[in-house]
Structure 1
């Protein structure tokens, strides 16, 4: 093999390894049918501070709970925009949307205003305590953060959807399908 091919091969291997190494998944998400752990977190809606209680939200209907790694990162911004666009449809079906992050928790207020477009609440999960209870954590740059996982939780606290994928594109549709299925069964 000539010198250029060896160099390209080495660079390709190094590039692949650099993509594979920074993120280490620590846990598998809670399964469908499991009881969702109750929680109360501080967060923001439209940039204004709020306290989010899962128990209180479930009294109104199903909850779409999605965990994301960090505010203002590319995938998390895409996902927030998509959830913002779908929030009115979720509300028509009686569902509440809440985003939760263990990464850069000091930015949830600004993120709720700018990227969530004032449509739904975002909560801070310092130390990934709630993400750990939901078994959706990963290591990123030496820090435990929430993995990209979406749940739909029925008012009785049972998990109807548990979906983990680093790609944000399918989360909204899977959550919407689960909420529609729940609404059809309970109308």
Structure 2
């Protein structure tokens, strides 16, 4: 019962606005960490990604949880729309790299399109002024596996090539989060013309 209640809280955490998170005009902390794309590990560097255009950095509580599954799938389905306007996307969670290797390759979620980065200490999330909570002793994912790490609040940042945050998106459903991120990068692209 406790696990189900915590799972409910985790899935509804999207409706709490990210009040303390970095906001428009703030400089995004540069970070470098292990990441996975299509099950293959690589080193993700925000600074390097920004050299190619705006980056959508989205923090999510945990791979293989309801809302995060929906959000990853929605980003993956729309990934070509992001790249069409010159933006890239990276998900960040407190999951370890082994878990992210599975999640990034899973055809139901990241589908080999969406890179996801590991922030096991929560320091990257905290550098963006996000709350990190947990772990819960009895929290299980949608596959029934124990989740032994903490959780960052679901918040997305649109980071410009100059390192400044163009928009912070929080307090909306996982699908609305993706839609608002897509609208933001499409606006940025339209304003460049």
* Residue ranges of structure 2 left out of the alignment (5+ in a row): 137-148
Within 5 A, what are the aligned runs for 1:1-187? Answer: 28-103=20-95, 105-114=97-106, 115-142=109-136, 144-165=150-171, 167-187=173-193
* Residue ranges of structure 1 left out of the alignment (5+ in a row): 1-14
**Aligned-residue offset at 1:79:** 0.2
Residues 126, 88 of structure 1: alpha-carbon distance in 2 compared, 3 angstrom cutoff: same
CA contact (8 A) 1:147 1:166 kept: no
Q: Whose helix fraction is larger, Structure 1's or Structure 2's?
A: 1
**Aligned-residue offset at 1:141:** 3.9
What is the TM-score with the length of structure 2 in the denominator? Answer: 0.80
Q: Whose strand fraction is larger, Structure 1's or Structure 2's?
A: 1
The 3-state SS of whatever aligns with 2:58 is strand
Task: Supply the distance in 2 between the matched residues of 1:70 and 1:105 (Cα, whole angstroms).
Answer: 12
Q: Could you list the structure 1 runs, at least 4 aligned residues long, displaced by more than 6 angstroms after superposition.
A: 15-18
The 3-state SS of whatever aligns with 2:57 is strand
Relative contact order, CA 8 A, sep 6+: which one is greater? 2
Residues 20, 112 of structure 1: alpha-carbon distance in 2 compared, 3 angstrom cutoff: closer
- Which structure has the larger Rg? 1
Task: Supply the distance in 1 between the matched residues of 2:156 and 2:29 (Cα, whole angstroms).
Answer: 14
The 3-state SS of whatever aligns with 1:127 is coil
What is the TM-score with the length of structure 1 in the denominator? Answer: 0.83
Residues 185, 85 of structure 1: alpha-carbon distance in 2 compared, 3 angstrom cutoff: same
CA contact (8 A) 1:40 1:53 kept: yes
Residues 118-164 of structure 1, C-alpha deviation per residue, up to 9 Å, x if partnerless?
A: 11210000110100001122323456421111111110111111011
